[in-house]
Structures are given as structure tokens and as C-alpha cells.
Chain A
Amino acid sequence: MASSHDADTAGITRRKSLSALAGAGALALAGCTQSGNGGDGGDELSGPINIAGSSTVFPLMSAVMEDFAAEHPGVDPDISSTGSGGGFSNFFCTGDTDFNNASRPIQPEEEELCADNGVEFVELIAATDALTVVVNPEADWIDSLTTEELAQIWKSDPVQTWDEVRDEFPNEEIERFGAADTSGTYDYFIEAILEDEGHTSEYQATEQDNTIAQGVSGSEYAIGYFGFAYYFQNPDQLKALGIDDGDGPVEPSLETASSGEYTPLSRPLFTYPSISSLGEEHIAEFARYFVEQTTNEELVANDVGYVPATEETQEEQMQKLEDAIEQAQG
């Protein structure tokens, strides 16, 4: 008897537990479905943002992008470092990217190319850079150069030894390391220092600041130039020269560049959003965010090493941007 009773209870418990299990399973399954269209919906921003262009602006843009991507999980931004000119002619003016970064203003032939393809854009100032001329830290015979002397070293028919630049310099051959001709830094250097004289081809040309730094730290009689960021992060590795534009030598620094003393080598950096892209809400929002961040001293100065924009510039840029967005969306 006892055993059959036991069997009964066992049967009931088994049935009970089975149905309980089935119920739990159904519940679990119900919580384990997803909809086929995969969209999480909502008004959350989403979509890709494609950016190419200057390798000088690259660190700044990718730092801003990193924060924007962290805030908006639906946005999928990517950035390529192609050089200002390469970005305009290969990607931006053919309509393949939404922004192009540039370390110099867009050039007439690039504007023409963009116009041919129906790409309209707006120019935004991203930050200010102090183009830095560096020599080997052991070169204690030199502290500054005038703009004329710089032009003598870098013009298309350059002087060959240091004592031709200034009499008290040693009679040693000059080794030059500079930006490649696809780089906006190269274009800006010509515009600011060399003007009509053209850039020498007797130098090691590269898009990589590291290569310039390596080259210059390898020889006491080498000279090179690049954006301020590299020198800012590695002040002990190289020696930055003061530049004398007629009012005595001024050393490159965040202060001298923002106050406007460091002439003629402090230059604005740009980014060019395409107006048709600004019609998309997530891209317009990113452009606004970028302009807001251009005054962020922590990010622009400390993390990247450029001079933040002033409040005034930022307001101007924001106005320009809002007009463009209105044109695109309205």
C-alpha cells in the first residue's frame, strides 16, 4: 500500500514538476524572441559617418568622434587619414565621404572638381596649429631663424650648408625632413614661408611625423617641420626653433599661437562637411557636436596638442553650420 501511495505522490510531483518546467520553459522562450527587422527603433540617432582627409586634423577629429560614438551607440563613424588633397580629390569631391579634414583651405581646382560632381560644402574652422620647425636637441649653436633664413633653407634652389644661412653657423651640410606634397602642411609651408620660390625637392618627404622626428634626432645638422602636436607630446626629443617674423624670435606654444604672436606659421585647421550629408540628422548632430568641442581645452589642447578655438570663432562657425543645415534640411 505504502509503495503505491508513494508511487502516486511521485506521479503527481512528476506531473506537477513537468508542467512547472513547461511553464518556465514557455516563459523563458517568450523572453527569448526577437523581431525580424532587427531595428531597435526610437528616435536615437543612427547611421554611418564617413570622414577622410588631413593627417594633421586626424587626431583631433578621431578624438571628438570617439566621444560622440560613445554617447550615441547607433552611430557608426569611420575616419581615414589620407592627406588633405587626397581626401578632397579621391573621396570628398566624388561624394563618397561626409566630411573632409584639411590643414589648409580648399584649393580652386578642388572646388571646381566638387562643383562638377554637384558636391556643396561649408568650411568650418576646427582649431589652430602652430607649424613647428625642429632641430636636433644637441644643436646648441641655433635657437631661432628668421622667415628669410627659413626660405633660404627650403626654397626650390636651396643653400647647401649651414654657414650660408648665417655666418656663425657651422660649415656642415643641411639635412632636410619635411611633409610630402600630398600634405596640407606642405601647401601651408609654401604659402607662409616660400611664396613664389617653391619648395625644394632635396629633402626626405613623408606623411608621418615620426619619420621626421627620427630623422632630425639622428643628425645634429638636420632640420624638419611638422604640426605642433608631435612636439607638444615629445618636447624633450627635439628642439623647436623660435621664428622671427621681424619682431624678434617667438617660440611655438599654445599661448603664442592663440595670441597671434607666432606668425606666420600658426595656421587654422579646417573640416568641410558636405551640405547634402548635413541633411541627415545624425551627421548634422555630429557637426554641431564637433563645433561645440572646438573650444574644449582639455580635449583640443591637452589630449591632442592644438590651440582651441575662441568662443567668438566658435559662435561664427556654429552660425555658418546652422545656416548650412537649414539649407540642407529645409
Chain B
Amino acid sequence: MATDNANAGGFGEVSRVRGIVFEYLSFGASVFGLVALGVLLVYVAIDAFDLANASPEWLLTYFLTLVVPFLAFCLYSASDRDVTRRALGALGGGLVAVAALFTAVEAFVAPIPRLNWQLAYLFVVAAPVSAYLAYVGSGGRVGAVGFGLLGRLVGGVAIGLAVGTLFLVFDPLLWFLAYTLGVLPAVGLYAVGRRRSTPRAQTAAVPVALAGLIAAVVLRDVVATYPSDLIIYLWTVAVPVAAAGGLLVAGRSGRTVAALVAGLPLAAAAAGGFLAAGVGLPGPTVLLVLVLTGVPTAVYVSRVADAGEGLAGLGLPLLLGAGAIAGALIVEAWGVPAPDPWLDGSFLTAAPSRTPVEAGLYPAIVGSVIIIALVAVLSFALGVGTSVFLEEYTPESGALGTLTRILQVNVANLAAVPSVVYGLLGLGLFANLLGLGIGTAVTAALTLSLLILPITIISAQEAIRSVPDDLRRGSDAMGATRWQTTKNVVLPEAMPGILTGTILALGRAIGETAPLIMIGAATTVFRAPDSLFSRFSAMPMQIYTWAGFPQADFRYGVVAAGVITLLLILVGMNGTAILLRNRAERGS
């Protein structure tokens, strides 16, 4: 106070030094963490894709066929002269600067291991500029269409693979019965009820669904012959997805377009699935990927065509695909030595092995995906339930209020309990006492759900608390019951915040190793788990084991490939959750 008011007599000068120092210190703090993480990720990526062995010619080829067209597309979409000038300046200037700086450091300070200036340019200049231009480009109409289409293609493939993975564990035959007897009639009833506005049909939907599910469970062992998996997926996933796509379009563009939007991807997916099965590929997965990519893409294309704006953006996937093919052809024709990445198709589809080249992560990927899917459902249900109860239903004063506060403090403290302790809890409670089995997927999912429960509860509570009381009072004043207020006002308002907390917590759960070790999860398995009660391995367990192998190829290449795979799956998972959250934000 004394110093700030030293010149209180008039408009004296206040020293700005402290403010400037503080600004730069906070800048330094943020840069320190980001740069450290960035360097780590760059090295992991170099190891995983064997970029240290990529010749400059190879890098140049793909830079010209893939990166340059992409940047040109973004610049075209942005169509802003300033941006173009800045981007070209950064790319050109960066080239000179990085090359000069890199050579100088190598010559005068110390050699930089496993990196050359071309790679440094790629990571330090080209990647950030591409990201910036993608951001700017997506602001333009053409860019938005291009990225929207690309996102649907990539997202469709990811969701198709995820659904295919879940069907490895959940009995498709039971699902077939449940869908045919329960889900389909219930949805049909509900739709008819809505269209004819007969509430009775709508209320009947829930009991019909329940009766169908029970019938499915009963009939599962009675029925002896089932359609093949491919037909089950076609009937229970592909047809409804296509129908939903068609309905979405029908209202806007008419029946012919709707039939095309639904029919073309469905036919392509069915044909692809049967062809793939014919040549020995996993037909059902191909079918799922094709239909979950094809239908959203078709819906999107028809929407863009209707709007008639930014049609050129539809060419972006073609541009990238053509670039990749052209690059491969040039490399092949030129005979340029290409890197041999550790992270390739066989790494994702093979079982672990004692030789680094043959080692794969497939069983662990499936294990992790299944566990995380279960954890997401469990922790969301438990977390939202607990936080709604604590925030909306418990009294704020009196003896019960004190009890609630004590409970709150304990929940907050639970978030800091070491994960090993949760592992012990899982071993004692779920594996031994409840007899769910040592090292089974369901034990792991329950343990990890408990582990992240405090985080989900606290963040959901914060989200619910931040819903203004005016909204609740307003709802009360309209004569709404507490349940109606919670359902119609509080939860929709709080949903984005609740989802954010769940996303963060899931990110922690997917990387946990210690509790998995405690519940006896296997270090290495050679087959993907085929039920919730089979023993499994998760990605962090397998990666940790590889890091301890004596061969250097395991410790660098294979581990790096595993880390990148884990990161990609995490990004995919978070991306899905963020899309859901944004939808919830827009809805409210």
C-alpha cells in the first residue's frame, strides 16, 4: 500500500517494472512446460515413425505432395492477403533461421542427437504454421466444408473401429435378440406415438423395451441358429444408421436424395463387408467402418450441396489422398530410402512378441478401449448421481447439512489417495470379496471408476453449483417439481461442465498402471479379451513391460510406437467427448 500510494498527492508515476517482470515470468512459466512436453513428443514421434532414418529427399517429396497442397488449400479458403504473406514469410524465414541456428548449435555447442535441421524445420516451423493455417482456413466457407468432411471421415473410421472392438466383448447374438425384440419395437412405438401425438404409445415404449430385453436374455440359449455376425451388424447397426441418415435428409432435400444418402453407403458397406469376409479380412469391422463413415459423409455432402456454398472444400480429402499416393509413387520411382516406422498396421493388429519387429499392441489396445468405455459409463452415472444428490437434495443446514459437509471434505480428500490404494481396494473388494476375478476387465473397470470418481463428483458438483439459482427459482415459480427442475433446468445447464470433468478424469484412467498391477492384470496377453470376465492387458502395462526389455529396439522404437498409439486413442476419445460437450453447450 505504502509504495503504491507513495505519490498519492497527485497523478504521479507508478513503476511498471514489477508488472512487466510478472508478465514475462508467467510467459516463461507457460513456455517452459510446453517446450519440455513438445521436445518429448517430438522425440517420441521421431522414434515411433523412424524419422531419424528419413532421407531429406523423402521428407521433401512428402512436403511437396502433402503439406504444400494442404497449406495452399487453407490459404485459398482464408483468401486473406495478410495471412498469405505472413505464412509464406514464416515458412521461408523459418527455413533459413532453423537451418542456420541448427548448424550453429551443432558446430559450436553440442551435437543434437537423432535430429537434423530438416526435421527440426518440420516440427518447429511447418507444423505450427500448418496448425495456424488450418485454424484460419477453417474460418472460411471452403475450409469449413473441407475440415467438416475430413472430420466425418476420420471420426467415422474411429467410431467404426471402437464399435467393432466393443462387439468383441459384448455378445453380438444377445445384442441381435435385444435389438430385434426390445430396441426396435420400442423405438418404433415411440416414433409412432410422437407422430400421431398419442402419449400412450410413447409411455408404452419403455415397458416394451424392458420386456424385449428380458425375452432376449431368456431366448439367448434357447435359439440354436443365428445369422452370421456380418448380417447381425448389417441389421442392427448399418440399417438403422442409414435409416437415421435418410430421415435426417428427407425433411430437407426430399425422398430421392434421402434414399440415395441412405442407400449408397449401405450398399457400399454391405458389399465391402462381404468382399472383405471373402478375402479373409474381418468383414464385420469393415462393414461397421464403412457404414459409420459413409452415412455421415453422405448426409454432410447433401447438406453442403443444398447450401451451395464452399463446394470446393469437398475436394480436401481427395487432395490429401492424391498427395499421399503421388508421394508414394515418386518415392518408389526415385528409389529414395524410406523410413521403416515402428507404428504401422502390423503393430496395431499383431500380438506382443519377443522380436521387436513382430511385436504388436492389439490385445492391449482392445483391453484398454473396453475398460475405458466401461469406466466412462460407470463413472459418469455414479458421478452425476452423487453430485446431483449432494447439491440438489441434501439440506444445507442442521445435522444433515453438517454430515453433507463432512462428506464433501472426504470426497475432496479421496482425490489425493494414491492409486495403489485403489488397486488394493479393487483386489480386496471386487476381485476377492465379490468374486469378479483377479485381473478381469470388469474388476479393472470398477477399480478405475472408483479411482476417478472423486474427480468426476467434484467437477460435476462445481458445474451444478454454477447454475444460477434464479433459474431454479424461476422453474419453481412455474410450478415445476424438484425432479422437473433438475431434469429440465439444472442438468442441461450443467452438462458441459460435467462432461469437461469426466473427460479430464478419463484421461487419467486410461494411463493408470499401478492399480492394474495391484488387481493382477496381466502384463502380456496374446489374445484380445472376449468377455468382460476374461483376463486382459492394458496399453500402459504393455508399454511399461517393453520399457524393461533388454533389446534397445524395444526400449526406443516399440515403446515410442505404443506411446503414440495411446496418445492417439486418448485424443480420439477426448475429441468425441468434446464434440458431445459442444453439442450440449449449443443446445442449452
Contact = CB atoms under 8 A, between A and B. Distances in A.
Given A34-B226, A48-B534, A232 B550 contact: yes
A65 B548 contact: no
B402 interface: no
B228 A79 contact: no
Given A62-B354, A66-B526, A69-B351, A233 B551 contact: yes
A270 B548 CA distance: 21
Given A29-B227, A32-B231, A33-B228, A78 B354 contact: no
A89 interface: no
B550 A229 contact: yes
B225 interface: yes
B545 interface: yes
A251 B508 CA distance: 46
B242 to A, nearest CB: 19
A96 B555 CA distance: 31
Contacts of B548: 55, 81, 207-210
A291 B548 CA distance: 26
B524 A79 contact: yes
A244 to B, nearest CB: 26
A76 B525 contact: yes
B522 interface: yes
A258 interface: no
B336 interface: no
A125 interface: no
A35 B224 contact: yes
A305 interface: yes
A33 B550 contact: no
Nearest to B553: A233
Interface string B197-241: 000000000000000000000001101111111110000000000
B581 to A, nearest CB: 37
B113 to A, nearest CB: 15
Nearest to B228: A32
A303 B517 CA distance: 26
Contacts, number: 112
B265 interface: no
Contact of B228 (A34, A52, A82, A207): A34
A80 B352 contact: no
Contacts of B227: 29, 32-34
A36 interface: yes
A48 B535 contact: yes
B549 interface: yes
Contacts of A96: 438, 520
Contacts of B226: 33-36
Interface residues of A, number: 42
Interface in B547-569: 547-552, 555
A230 to B, nearest CB: 4
Contacts of A32: 227-228, 230-231
A198 interface: no
A139 interface: no
A234 B555 CA distance: 12
A79 B545 CA distance: 11
Contact of A78 (B173, B228, B524): B524
Contacts of A304: 354
B552 A77 contact: no
A303 B555 CA distance: 16
A50 interface: yes
B520 A33 contact: no
A91 interface: yes
A78 B555 CA distance: 21
A63 interface: yes
Given A230-B550, A233-B551, A303 B355 contact: yes
A78 B535 contact: yes
Interface string A184-209: 00000000000000000000000111
A39 B228 CA distance: 14
B351 A76 contact: no
A127 to B, nearest CB: 14
B520 A79 contact: no
B524 A62 contact: yes
Contacts of B525: 76-79
B353 A80 contact: no
B45 interface: no
A76 B526 contact: yes
Interface string A258-279: 0000000000000000000000
Nearest to B221: A36
A52 B537 CA distance: 13
Interface in A59-109: 59, 62-63, 65-66, 69, 76-82, 90-91, 96
B472 interface: no
Given A55-B548, A233-B550, A304-B354, A36 B225 contact: yes
A91 B351 CA distance: 25
Interface in A1-59: 29, 31-38, 48, 50, 52, 55, 58-59
A69 B350 CA distance: 13
B550 A80 contact: no
Nearest to B535: A78
A210 B547 contact: yes
A63 B523 contact: no
Contacts of B555: 210
Contacts of B142: none
Given A32-B230, A59-B549, A80 B521 contact: yes
B430 to A, nearest CB: 14
Which of A65, A79, A80, A91 is most buried by chain B, counting CB atoms within 10 A of its CB? A80
A90 B227 CA distance: 44
Interface of B: 173, 220-221, 223-231, 351-355, 438-439, 517, 520-527, 530, 534-537, 545, 547-552, 555
Interface of A: 29, 31-38, 48, 50, 52, 55, 58-59, 62-63, 65-66, 69, 76-82, 90-91, 96, 207-210, 229-230, 232-234, 303-305
Given A50-B535, A66-B353, A233-B552, 12 more contacts: A32-B230, A34-B173, A35-B225, A63-B354, A65-B524, A66-B351, A76-B526, A78-B536, A96-B438, A209-B548, A229-B550, A230-B550
27 contacts: A32-B228, A33-B225, A33-B227, A35-B224, A35-B226, A36-B226, A37-B221, A48-B535, A50-B522, A58-B523, A62-B524, A76-B527, A78-B522, A78-B525, A80-B439, A80-B520, A81-B545, A81-B548, A90-B520, A91-B438, A208-B548, A210-B555, A230-B550, A232-B550, A233-B552, A234-B550, A303-B354
